[in-house]
Amino acid sequence: MEAPQYVAARVQRALAEDERTNELGIRVDVRGEQLFLRGQVTGNERRLLIADVAREAAPGLTVRNEITVIDVRGPGEEERL
Amino acid sequence: MRELRIAAVGDVHLDESLRGRYRERLDDIGEHADVLLLAGDLTRHGTLEEAGVVADEFRDLPVPVIAVLGNHDHHSNHPAEIAAMLNDAGIKVLHDDATVLDVDGVRLGVVGGKGFGGGYAGKCASDFGEPEIKAFIGHTKRIAERWRVALKELEADRRIVLSHYSPVKDTLSGEPLEIYPFLGSYLLAEAADAEGADLVIHGHAHAGTEKGVTPGGIRVRNVALPVLGRAYGVYCL
């Protein structure tokens, strides 16, 4: 059986290198039969695409998509330097 | 001298699916800021189609817009074309050079470019060994030198360095230590400290933190969108 560290590394590379995602900022963890994705993206479409690419790179694992979608708020308070 | 309000954001990673989403947060930017700085990674894959979305989101704003490109904007090997498209939309793109704006009689100078990696003092790549390593660190060294010269020649009342990669470790806190050399280089901070600046703005480190300072005491702000969690930060100088 392939060590989980190699599976996680393969998924992380796929997310970075696959043209559909090119996503560098997602944390990938494999625990048993589960693959966890964590991080932040700017839209739900991208969140789902990342899970698709991860699933293809690690068939047989259950993908737990814990990526959150950032809601871009107004500028908030200014800072005086 | 009048206070300047600097709005800044990076890593917006726009593509067709996000068209119009960012723009709706910018309509009242004139009430909050005098200028908007974009700290790179404006696109997802660096395609011309995505650059078109960026141009449309940031064109014709009530404040001037100054940008640098990021590593994502280089991915499809069209950085010059992307910069030209943004320039055509009225967005000034810096490529290791400077621009000076007049804001009600106050000269705001901005120096910058993409920057690059290499790591931080004592734990960084050196110009030694294989040609591939020399090319990697040589790229950063050349960039830092161009920034130093641009800062030396800059004549302005307020001075900002705008980068994609981070010049300091402070604002990387939250990122894995192992990837620090790919997130920035101390050579960029050294250039700013040597010639002086009032503020350094960068992006790239999505899991980092907003506030830091260079070894010479210049304030650094990581404005990557996931770090800010708001449309842009506003810093008053």
* Structure confidence at residue A78 (pLDDT): 86
Q: Is residue A29 part of a domain?
A: yes
**Is A79 inside a domain boundary?**
no
Interval B187-202: pLDDT, tens: 999 999 999 999 999 9
**In 3D, which of B161, B165, B160, B162 has the Cα closest to residue B139?**
B165
Domains of chain B: 5-236 (3.60.21.10)
Answer yes or no: is A74 within a domain. no
Task: Answer whether residue A77 shows pLDDT above 90.
Answer: no
Give me the CATH number covering residue A60.
Answer: 3.30.1340.30
User: For chain A, what is the domain count?
Assistant: 1
Residue recorded with tokens 């702000």 = B221
Q: What strand order describes the sheet that includes A27-31?
A: A27-31, A34-38, A62-65
What is the extent of the structural domain holding A63? 4-69
* B87: phi then psi, degrees, rounded to nearest 5: -60, -40
β-pair partners for B211: B221
pLDDT recorded at residue A1:
72
Confidence of residue A81 (pLDDT cuts 50, 70, 90): confident
Q: Per residue in B28-76, pLDDT tens?
A: 999 999 999 999 999 999 999 999 999 999 999 999 999 999 999 999 9
Cβ proximity of B36 and B61 under 8 Å: yes
CA distance B42 to B13: 5
Q: Is residue A81 part of a domain?
A: no
Question: What is the pLDDT, as a whole number, of residue B127?
Answer: 87
Q: Which chain B residues are closer than 8 Å to A80 by Cβ?
A: 236
- Mean pLDDT for all residues in chain B: 96
B47: Cα separation from own chain's centroid: 19
Cβ-contact B219, B192 below 8 angstroms: no
Structure tokens at A60: 């047989």
Is A81 within 8 Å of B17 when comparing Cβ atoms?
A: no
Alpha-carbon distance A71 to nearest alpha carbon in chain B (angstroms): 7
* Residues in contact with A81: Cβ distance below 8 Å, sequence separation at least 6, in sequence order: B198, B199, B219, B235, B236, B237
What percent of chain B is predicted at pLDDT more than 90? Answer: 92
Tell me, what's the pLDDT at A43?
85
- Kindly report, residue by residue over B76-121, the tens digit of the pLDDT: 999 999 999 999 999 999 999 999 999 999 999 999 999 999 999 8
Q: Is residue A50 predicted with pLDDT exceeding 80?
A: yes
pLDDT-derived band at B217, boundaries 50, 70, 90 = very high
> Residue A77 falls within a domain, yes or no?
no
Query: Is the ipTM beyond the 0.85 threshold?
Result: no
User: Quick one: which of B84, B8, B65, B17 has its CA closest to B45?
Assistant: B17
Q: Is B19 on the interface with A (CB under 8 A)?
A: no
Contact B201, B161 (CB under 8 A): yes
Give domain status of residue A50, yes or no: yes
Strands B91-93 and B65-68: parallel
**Which residues from A are below 8 Å from B235, CB to CB?**
78-79, 81
Residues in B touching A73 (Cβ below 8 Å): 25, 229-231
Q: Are the C-beta atoms of B63 and B37 separated by less than 8 Å?
A: no
